[in-house]
């Protein structure tokens, strides 16, 4: 069969995974009576819960006499590393754009990468059935974006197709005819070139890595030259050309719809998964024994945010999880870094903690959430930005391009809060329906924890999108959290009566009956200083009937701390304790005297 390899790239929530659903359904990949989940490519639990794609995944469909390999990619900027590396596997890309929102930051980021390596994109305007669709303006915005990204004349002459992935149709005109996905299939076959096949022995560049309990490591990638059969002897070369290991291919799996089937031979141009090698890493070259030159992998943008992962040393350590030692945490983090090229893991000088650097808060929060579901217990510090130095020794910090869509009535408070966070406004323009699109260049430091505040300020109506822009000169100090915290001074179970009496001190973050310990954060103080309180003190009982004896205890509902909210909330001297059942906030030093000593040292250094 003829071959075509394409990626579907777009901003988060523009409909990529829904489009792949329809392509699979209409190409006959499913039986007529087969039960298929919605967004079938979002296979892991976190993807299903959050409704976002986290991992890039491959599938394939047969249309007429052509097999089309499709890679579904994440749309969130934090998972941009997934998209960057799969672009080397494909020869074309479908750029999916929402007919109302237009091209957003992540679209710009990925399209820029795709144009740079010479891909000729197809632009698909999705959701044309939305009542606020502005199709012609969006097409113009896409053209302007391509021009701003230095597209060649050939790339600027892109074909456009319109439709609704949810309704299952694409057409050459926004008005139809609505006869399924056939026009898109035909356009892919006509516009995307056949895979280029290189001369020489078997060579394959791996881009996705996974662990299988039965087959061991499975590497998904594209075969650039030659062919490979099961049981063939192969070797692995790293980027510099050094031999990492030699071994045999135990199984070759080809993508057929959403399933993988064993095949007898993989040929150049095809995207396949290979099992049988132990030490393979992403971006290494798998090749025949006579080959000595590795394939060049795409460079990956550097991480901008880092966090320290520590062994959980709280009094409640080991009561809820079964993986608590530094050896287990270290092995899990380094295993994650092997398959995720946008993540960097280093041992800290002390040896009991690990510095994990990534693209953003969401990427690191997803890693932590995955680990706690696997039974890990750990402590995590506040996210810090990764600074760099220029040739003159000046400190540079990461700056992000922030696009905020907000109702006009709330724009004032957004501009004010962003300027407090040292952001610089670049653009303000109407985006339809009494809404404004504000574009800022803001330091990553200032954006940590801003998402929740933005939603509060705009009553949940604002949408914020961020994207790494550049490293620039340090912007100066940014004010942190305004309120102090309430800290437990005893260990035990929280009592409703004590919490009720302490309500005027500030809102609580715990519920009656929860286990607390000395140094644990149990609430937010109404003032700017920290306050130690006793949430264990019960009511003094006597045998004298008093007027207020039978007062009912009515507690205000506590502040619910999700993982992302907790990471954004803590200060530098605090940690988030994460276990499979709980998320607790605590001070780094649980003993109040140690806290005072640490504060004194910090003040002396300053």
Look at residue 350 and tell me if it is in a domain.
Answer: no
- Residues comprising the binding site? 13-18, 126-129
Asked whether the predicted pLDDT for residue 111 surpasses 80, the reply is: yes
Residues 46 and 176 in one domain: yes
What's residue 352's pLDDT? 80
Judge if 416 and 491 occupy the same domain.
Answer: no
| 3-state SS, residue 532 | strand
**What pLDDT score was predicted for residue 478?**
82
Residue 604: pLDDT over 60: yes
Q: Which helix (H) or strand (E) holds 424?
A: strand 424-430
Show the tokens assigned to 335.
């295993």
Residue 351 lies in a domain: no
Mean pLDDT calculated for residue range 476-502: 88
Write out the binding residues for GTP: 13-18, 126-129
pTM of the model: 0.79
In a domain, 306, yes or no: no
- pLDDT tens for residues 222-268? 898 888 899 999 998 888 888 888 889 999 998 887 778 899 998 88
Structural domain count of the chain: 4
Given a cut of 70, whether residue 36 has pLDDT beyond it is: no
pLDDT (mean) for 295-320 = 85
Please give the Cα distance from 579 to 322 (Å, whole number): 9
Per-residue pLDDT at 128 exceeds 60 = yes
When pLDDT is cut at 50, 70 and 90, the band that residue 544 belongs to is: low
CATH number at residue 273: 2.40.30.10
CATH number at residue 536: 2.40.50.250
Residue 355 — very low, low, confident or very high, per pLDDT cuts 50/70/90?
Answer: very high
Check whether residue 490 and residue 405 sit in a common domain. no
Q: Mean pLDDT across the stretch 309-325?
A: 90
Domain end (from 191, 212, 231) = 191
Is residue 332 a part of any domain in this protein?
Answer: no
Do 35 and 166 sit in the same domain of this protein?
Answer: yes
Mean pLDDT over the full length of the chain: 84
Residue 288 pLDDT more than 70? yes
- Check residues 221 and 299 and name the one with the higher pLDDT: 221
574 neighbors 588 (Cβ within 8 angstroms)? yes
**Domain presence at residue 269:** yes
**Segments forming the whole domain that contains residue 279:** 203-288
Collapsing DSSP to helix, strand or coil, 585 comes out as strand
Lowest model confidence (mean pLDDT) among 120-134, 245-259, 456-470, 549-563: 549-563
What gap in Å lies between CA 305 and CA 315, rounded to an integer? 29
The pair phi, psi for residue 90, each rounded to 5°, is -115, 165
Same domain, 22 and 154: yes
- Give residue 371's pLDDT: 92
The CB density around residue 416, as the number of other CB atoms within 10 Å, is: 10
| Residue with the larger pLDDT of the pair 44 and 481 | 481
Find the length of the chain: 606
Residue 116 within a domain:
yes
Contact 61, 3 (CB under 8 A): no
- Torsion angle, CA of 399/400/405/409, rounded to 10 degrees? -20
Percentage of residues of the chain with pLDDT beyond 70: 91
Same domain, yes or no: 46 and 133: yes
Q: Which of 452, 473, 494 is the last residue of a domain?
A: 473
- Portion of the chain with pLDDT greater than 90, in percent: 20
């Amino acid at each position: 069969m003829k071959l075509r390899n394409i990626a579907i790239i777009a901003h988060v929530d523009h409909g990529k995974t829904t489009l792949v659903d329809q392509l699979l359904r209409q190409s006959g990949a499913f039986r007529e009576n087969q039960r298929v989940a919605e967004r079938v490519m979002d296979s892991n639990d976190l993807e299903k819960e959050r409704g976002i794609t986290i991992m890039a995944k491959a599938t394939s469909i047969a249309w007429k006499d052509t097999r089309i390999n499709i890679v579904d990619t994440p749309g969130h900027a934090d998972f941009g590393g997934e998209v960057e590396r799969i672009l080397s596997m494909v020869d074309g890309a479908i750029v999916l754009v929402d007919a109302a929102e237009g091209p957003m930051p992540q679209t710009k980021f990925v399209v820029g990468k795709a144009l740079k390596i010479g891909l000729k994109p197809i632009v698909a305007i999705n959701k044309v059935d939305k009542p606020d669709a502005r199709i012609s303006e969006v097409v113009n915005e896409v053209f302007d974006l391509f021009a701003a990204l230095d597209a060649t004349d050939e790339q600027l002459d892109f074909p456009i197709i319109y439709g609704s992935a949810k309704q299952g149709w694409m057409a050459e005109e926004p008005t139809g005819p609505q006869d399924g996905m056939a026009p898109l299939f035909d356009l892919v076959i006509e516009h995307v070139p056949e895979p280029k096949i290189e001369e020489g022995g078997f060579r394959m560049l791996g881009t996705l890595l996974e662990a299988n309990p039965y087959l061991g490591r499975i590497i998904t990638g594209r075969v650039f030259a030659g062919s490979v059969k099961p049981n063939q002897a192969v070797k692995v070369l790293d980027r510099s050309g050094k031999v990492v290991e030699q071994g045999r291919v135990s199984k070759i799996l080809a993508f057929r719809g959403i399933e993988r089937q064993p095949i007898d031979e993989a040929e150049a141009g095809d995207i396949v998964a290979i099992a049988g090698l132990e030490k393979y890493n992403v971006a290494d070259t798998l090749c025949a024994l006579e080959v000595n030159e590795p394939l060049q992998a795409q460079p990956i943008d550097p991480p901008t945010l880092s966090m320290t992962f520590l062994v959980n040393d709280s009094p409640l350590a080991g009561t809820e999880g079964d993986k608590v030692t530094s050896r287990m945490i270290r092995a899990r983090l380094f295993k994650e870094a092997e398959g995720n090229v946008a993540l960097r893991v280093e041992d800290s000088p002390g040896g009991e903690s690990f510095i994990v650097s990534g693209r953003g808060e969401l990427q690191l929060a997803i890693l932590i959430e995955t680990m706690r579901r696997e039974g890990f217990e750990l402590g995590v510090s506040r996210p810090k930005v990764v600074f760099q130095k220029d040739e003159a020794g000046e400190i540079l910090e990461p700056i992000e391009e922030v696009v905020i869509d907000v109702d006009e009535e709330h724009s004032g408070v957004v501009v004010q809060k962003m300027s407090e966070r040292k952001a610089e406004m670049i653009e303000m323009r109407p985006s339809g329906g009494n809404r404004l699109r504000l574009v800022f260049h803001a330091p990553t430091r200032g954006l940590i924890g801003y998402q929740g505040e933005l939603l509060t300020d705009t009553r949940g109506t604002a949408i914020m999108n961020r994207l790494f822009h550049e490293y620039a000169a340090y912007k100066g100090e940014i004010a942190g959290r305004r309120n102090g915290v309430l800290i437990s001074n005893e260990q035990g179970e929280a009592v409703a009566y004590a919490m009720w009496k302490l309500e005027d001190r500030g809102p609580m973050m715990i519920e009656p009956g929860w286990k607390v310990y000395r140094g644990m954060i149990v609430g937010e103080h109404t003032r700017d200083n920290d306050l130690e309180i006793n949430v264990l003190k019960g009511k003094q009982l006597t045998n004298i009937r008093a007027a207020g004896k039978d007062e009912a205890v009515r507690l205000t509902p506590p502040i619910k701390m999700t993982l992302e909210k907790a990471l954004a909330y803590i200060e530098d001297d605090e940690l988030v304790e994460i276990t499979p059942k709980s998320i607790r906030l605590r001070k780094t030093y649980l003993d109040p005297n140690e806290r005072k000593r640490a504060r004194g040292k910090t003040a002396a250094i300053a």
